[in-house]
Amino acid sequence: MEKKLSREEAKKRIEWLRKEIWRHNYLYYVLNKPEISDEEYDKLMEELRRLEEQFPEFITPDSPTQRVGAPPAKEFKTVKHVKPMLSLDAARDEEEIRAFDRRVRRELGVENVEYVAEPKLDGLSVELIYEDGKYKRGSTRGDGINGEDVTENIRTIRAVPLVLRGEELPIPKMLAVRGEVIMHIDDFEKLNKELIQRGEEPLANPRNAAAGSLRRLDPKETAERPLDIFFYEIMHYEGDGIKIESQWEALQCLKKWGLKINPHVKLCKNIDEAIEYHRKMEEMREKLEYEIDGVVIKVNKFEYQEKLGIKTRSPRWAIAYKFPPRKEETQIVDIVVQVGRTGILTPVALLKPVDVKGVTVSRATLHNEDYIKEKDIRIGDWVKVARAGDVIPEVVEVIKEKRTGNEKEFKMPDKCPVCGSRVVKEGAYYRCTGGLSCPAQLKRSIAHFASKNAMDIEGLGGKTVDLLVEKGLIKRISDIYRLTKRDLLRLPRFGEKAAKNLVEAIEKSKDRGLARLIFALGIPNVGEHTARILAEKFKTIDRLMQATEAELLAINEIGPETASSIVNFFREERNRREIEELKKLGVKMEYEEEKGKLKGKVFVFTGTLKSFSREEAKELVEKEGGIVVNSVSKNVDYVVAGENPGSKYEKAKQLGLKIIGEEEFKKLLGIEEKEERKGKIMTLDEFFKA
């Protein structure tokens, strides 16, 4: 048995564990010299998590356990960068690099210039801000001036320290750094396999995967994606005792603060060394675990950088020396449309087979209509296809000189090539409205319909769904409710018991209520939360089916994209018919008032409450159907402020959230004074003594 710790002891142990974990993070991520095994590391994390659970008052946002706390956002806020995030001019050959060096030396009036050469990482550029050594904010590059606030998503990347190290250098009051978020090639391939297995669209390349993963509205989803980061620029710093005079020094400082830099960076005495570096890195490229598309050459001394200055969007003291892309020429024989199981139509080029660095390529994605238009891709065109460490090759360029005039323009179809339903445009994408009845989407739709948070049909998982669809027993959603034990017994793998259980589970699922049914239908953009709101608002499926876009938009939490996909979904005759069928087969579609006074309400606590511990307060909220989260965002309904509230209080004020005191909180819960707890509440100390 483990010894129960006193509050004081626990506090000390928690602090020690955190320091220890931070140290091991540094050893692992930054120095690449771990001292302990993964299992030992996990044990430390586990102990910390357990203690924090017992003593939630000691949880701080920078605790290593707090990487995923934030609730999903509806959209990203825009934030202004500390300084513009510039991009780089690119050079393709040695001559252009020598010209760059000549210009630099001429303008500086010096014989020779030192450069820092770094791999040009092919990911997504981000800005991170630390205040007094604590991670405060993270944003994407955006247009260079303003980016998207992805603070909570970046927090989930394990290589991002939540607290800077102060062992070797003073901690700056403020530090703005820039780095590149990337996904390793093997992680990318694994992710794509999983996506394909789940019936979702695979991603085009590791860069898109990194960008898409980082920009999930729900940070929990980002946390599930294996992202990594390298830091390469100090954009701004304030603080005593720190003076940084060159890019090389900047890199060393980043490393000392615990911000991982790329191990292949090199200080070059002159441009010849930088050119040699480019040659070596091009060889190295094939061995790296992540994608690089060139090297970046930067004038080392900051004094020189300042003299050289910037021109509009790019510095005059740095240049990207790109690698020749891995691409080959071939011809587009035809363009076809593939329907993913989410209903998205993806145009695909059928190619004359061509070998691109050892892989025969005969199809290449054209992504979407905008991409085709932007590159002016036509059937019959000669094109360059590239493979960027990815599974799906892409058409990167049209060789216009080779056009004969016989090329044909491509148009996206207005009917789904698989089921013939109407196709609608949603942003850059076209989507088949066939939904429930489109075979391409059928398996995924069924699996979603039966999933735990939807109709919760136990035993109707991926494999069974595949089998039922392939055997023709399920052709549309309503067929689920037509399945009989006899049907199932004819299938391989189905014994008497399994068949009976599944039939019973299907029967039970008829009673899940309107909200879950709406979610189960798989209407694009309608998640669980939205489904619940719709059920509350419209009460019956018939009312919802008649809702106009304007009516939907009038609901606070529903945006234009969601409103239009709901209307489109119900406009489709087949979907309406399916709903009628479900009704006839006995699926209940009435709204049942859900229990719980605080249903769906999101709470944050800050400061100390007099009558409850955090854990108790959390339990009470959850008992009433509410949700407790750790950080303040605009999705929060109530901020409960106890004594000595912390920074969450300030943030809540800024966001204009509803802030309530302990008394009001009790009223919300309906706790009467007399019922409140007999006698005095014990502190944890007293509790442990008792």
Q: Which residues bind ligand IVH (CB under 6 A)?
A: 86-88, 118, 120-121, 125, 141, 180, 232-233, 296, 315, 318, 320
Q: Rounded to whole angstroms, how far apart are CA atoms 443 and 428?
A: 25
User: Per the structure block, which two tokens stand in for 307?
Assistant: 């003299």
Backbone torsions φ then ψ of 290, nearest 5 degrees: -135, 165
Closest approach of ligand IVH to the CB of residue 86, in Å = 4
Contact yes or no for 141/98 (Cβ under 8 A) = no
Catalytic: 120?
A: yes
Which residue number, 209 or 534, has a Cβ lying nearer to ligand IVH?
Answer: 209
DSSP code of residue 301? B
369 CB-near residues (< 8 Å, 6+ apart): 347, 412, 428, 430
Taking the C-alpha atoms of residue 8 and residue 629, their distance in angstroms, rounded to an integer, is 25
- Output the smallest distance, CB 105 to ligand IVH, in A: 20
Cβ partners under 8 Å of residue 374, min gap 6: none
338 beta partners: 346
The total number of residues written for the chain in this structure:
690
Sequence-separated contacts (24+) of 190-193 with Cβ below 8 Å: 191/225, 191/226, 192/391
Q: Kindly name the residue from 120, 298, 648, 666 that is annotated as catalytic.
A: 120
Smallest CA-to-CA distance from 120 within 280, 305, 295 is with 295
111: Cβ–Cβ under 8 A, 6 or more apart, which residues? 105
Nearest distance in Å: CB 125, ligand IVH: 3
| Residues 332 and 420: beta-carbon distance below 8 Å | no
Q: Please say which residue, 65 or 125, places its beta carbon nearer to ligand IVH.
A: 125
Taking CB atoms, the residue at the shortest distance from ligand IVH is 125
Q: How far apart are CA 450 and CA 460, in angstroms?
A: 6
- Backbone phi, psi, residue 224, to 5°: -80, -10
Closest listed residue to residue 150, CA positions, set 131, 136, 132, 130: 136
Q: Report which secondary-structure segment, H or E, holds 578.
A: helix 573-584
Q: How far is the CB of 204 from ligand IVH (least distance, A)?
A: 18
Q: Least CB distance from residue 148 to ligand IVH, whole Å?
A: 15
| CB closer to ligand IVH, 113 vs 332 | 113
Which residue, 125 or 613, is less far from ligand IVH as judged by CB?
Answer: 125
Q: Which is nearer to ligand IVH, 118 or 662 (CB)?
A: 118
The least distance separating ligand IVH from the CB of residue 222, rounded to whole angstroms, comes to 18
Shortest CA distance to 112 belongs to which of 342, 327, 273? 273
Q: Nearer to ligand IVH by C-beta: 263 or 461?
A: 263
Choose between 118 and 578: whose C-beta lies nearer to ligand IVH. Answer: 118
| C-alpha Rg value of the chain to the nearest Å | 29
Residue closer to ligand IVH (CB basis): 30 or 582: 30
* Closest separation in Å from C-beta 296 to ligand IVH: 4
Distance CA 677, CA 690 (A): 18
The phi and psi torsions of 529 (rounded to 5 degrees) equal -65, -50
Least spacing, CB of residue 118 vs ligand IVH, in Å: 4
**What positions carry a catalytic annotation?**
120
